[in-house]
Amino acid sequence: MKTLTGIPVFSGIAIGKAFLYLEDDFPEIPRYSIRKNQVEAEWKRLLRANVEAMEEVKVLHEQASREMSKEQADIFEAHLMMLEDTVFQEQIKERLKTTLQNIEWVVWSIAHELVQKLMASPDSDLRERAIDISDVSRRILSKLLSITKKSLADLSQDVILVAHDLLPSDVLTMNKDRVKGIAMDMGSRTCHTAILTRAFEIPAVLGLSTLTREINDGEKLVIDGASGVVSINPDKTALDQYEGISRQYRKKGDELLALRDLPAETTDGYRVTLKANIEVPEEAAQVSRYGAEGIGLYRSEFLLLTSGQAAEEERQYQVYRQVLEAMGTLPVTIRTMDSGGDKQLPNFQSPNEKNPLLGWRAIRFSLARPELFKTQLRAILRASVHGNARIMFPMISGIEELEQARAILEEAKDECRHKGQVYTEDIAVGSMIEIPSAAMTADILAQRSDFFSIGTNDLIQYSLAVDRGNEKVDYLAQPFHPAVLRFLKKTIDAAHKQGIKAAMCGELAGDPSATVLLLGLELDTFSMTASAIPQVKQIIRGVDLESCRVLANKALECTSYHHVTGLVAAWMADHFPPS
């Protein structure tokens, strides 16, 4: 047995076979001339490949119809129609006869020309068809070239997913019922892939550096998402121990769920609000299971990433409406597009930007593309009448950006009025505080904000100059750094002075080790991965506010994050001794 230690992301034990996912670029398509008497043989190769591709897609369509949404099933239905398209086949046959090139090159060249033409169209339906054509042609080419392509969406057995790195879109599209655990060479606790694994409640360990070189496909693997330990080919004794730990996790989880309907209130009556962060609309129907009092952060950009391009207004409206109706009267805070960085919006943002984390992302991108921005704002406004919607602008650096965003929101309202579309006129508008300049001018931003929400993931990385997706410097991303604590204190105080609420939607809000400190700073709302709510609530209900204030004041006097970490750990051990 061999063990590796990485960064724990979501607790739980996962035991299974490793599925090694190393996604390489599609190989170069061969190109060579053929003789006239070879045309018929090449054509028969294509027909065989087409039949194999159709059988593959039929299986996916049946699976999607059973296990996924109608929208996902419709994608495979469209792919089947393309594979059966006789016009497309005749076009290929004619090109084959006239060019006398091998069939792989003919298929690729025709598909490439079609995709380029359709992607240039202003019609969104045609652009979506281009993506389908690209997908179908690659599937046919895989058959012609005898390429066995692994697909995370097509998994038919339970696996532990092992990868060097995963894009957020990989996690969104994988078969989540079959992925029982995730282990990655790259990543950190606050990267977006980690956020998604927590949202989907998949035990995960990231930042393992060499795992993909240490393991073979199909080997037995155990992930301990709490300790960050990954065991390769464990013996029976180790497996029995992990099975016991897994049972303990399940028992503790059941006990915490009993707190669902109790208020998040300290022993001396201080009441806070616990909300959930969601990435996909389907999560909205599940968050009440954990006692969430609303959605404090709906990361709307994942809707755009999943669709492969900017979603049209009607589709966004329907999705936002779905989330709002699922939550009833409870508030839903929709963050406008926070694309950029490791969440590139296809066809709009370049993945080759030199410094994407400090570049064209979030509100900067939205302000530079006002029509795209207004499309989203109109969709949110129209959906607002179906629930309790709130709008939040990400990565605000100063009052100028906030004023520009609010001005475009007013334009979106005017356009809705002109079309006779109803919306909530006094919809609340909030600012995310995740840049040092925003924290330092929180008193100014508070005058034009209905609420604040502190995004600690970015606030920490920007305050401490630490790329949160880089495991080499992840150890420096310390939420208890004195600079971070002072930014939190300044932001919360500025909100309260202006008479507005201060929320936190970064990962720190769901960290049980930070709960008492944040209570002491008098944070009003904690928003986190839904499954983290019961444990945070348990801590809140076991302390008094005055003790938390004393702890927070002591922490603010500390000179290093080591001192703060030690102080908080000792306090927690004293008040919540290990059972």
Domains of the chain, residue spans: 2-23+152-237, 36-144, 270-575
Q: What one-letter code names the amino acid at 406?
A: R
Give pLDDT, residue 454: 98
Q: Which of 192, 416, 481, 558 is catalytic?
A: 192
Sheet order of strands, 229-232 included: 2-5, 229-232, 220-224, 13-21, 159-163, 179-184, 204-206, 7-10
Give pLDDT, residue 173: 77
Specify the 3-state DSSP secondary structure of 384: helix
Encode pLDDT of 326-384 as tens digits: 999 999 999 999 876 555 554 454 545 667 778 888 999 999 999 999 999 999 999 99
Q: Is 558 a catalytic residue?
A: no
pLDDT of 41 over the 90 cut: yes
pLDDT of 283 over the 90 cut: no
Mean local confidence (pLDDT), 114-128:
69
Q: Which H/E stretch holds residue 144?
A: helix 124-144
Partners of residue 429 on adjacent β-strands: 391
For domain 36-144, the CATH architecture is Orthogonal Bundle (1.10)
What are the phi and psi torsion angles at 245 (to 5°)? -60, -40
Encode pLDDT of 221-244 as tens digits: 999 998 899 999 999 999 989 988
pLDDT of 303 over the 70 cut: yes
Mean local confidence (pLDDT), 92-116:
92
Check if CATH label 3.40.50.150 holds for domain 2-23+152-237: no
Identify each DSSP E strand in 121-250 by its residue range.
Answer: 159-163, 179-184, 204-206, 220-224, 229-232
Give pLDDT, residue 520: 98
Q: Is 192 a catalytic residue?
A: yes
Bigger pLDDT: 130 or 412? 412
Q: Which of 416, 505, 548, 558 is catalytic?
A: 505
Partners of residue 295 on adjacent β-strands: 276, 332
d(C-alpha 339, C-alpha 424), whole Å: 26
CB-based contact 256:534 (threshold 8 Å): yes
In this structure, are strands 229-232 and 13-21 parallel, antiparallel, or unpaired? unpaired
Bigger pLDDT: 27 or 419? 419
Encode pLDDT of 492-531 as tens digits: 999 999 999 999 998 899 999 999 999 999 999 999 999 8
Q: How confident is the model at residue 308 (pLDDT cuts 50, 70, 90)?
A: very low
Mean local confidence (pLDDT), 449-454:
98
Tell me, yes or no, if the pTM score tops 0.75: no
The two three-digit tokens of residue 387, written as one number: 């629930």
Classify domain 270-575 at the CATH topology level: TIM Barrel (3.20.20)
d(C-alpha 545, C-alpha 549), whole Å: 6
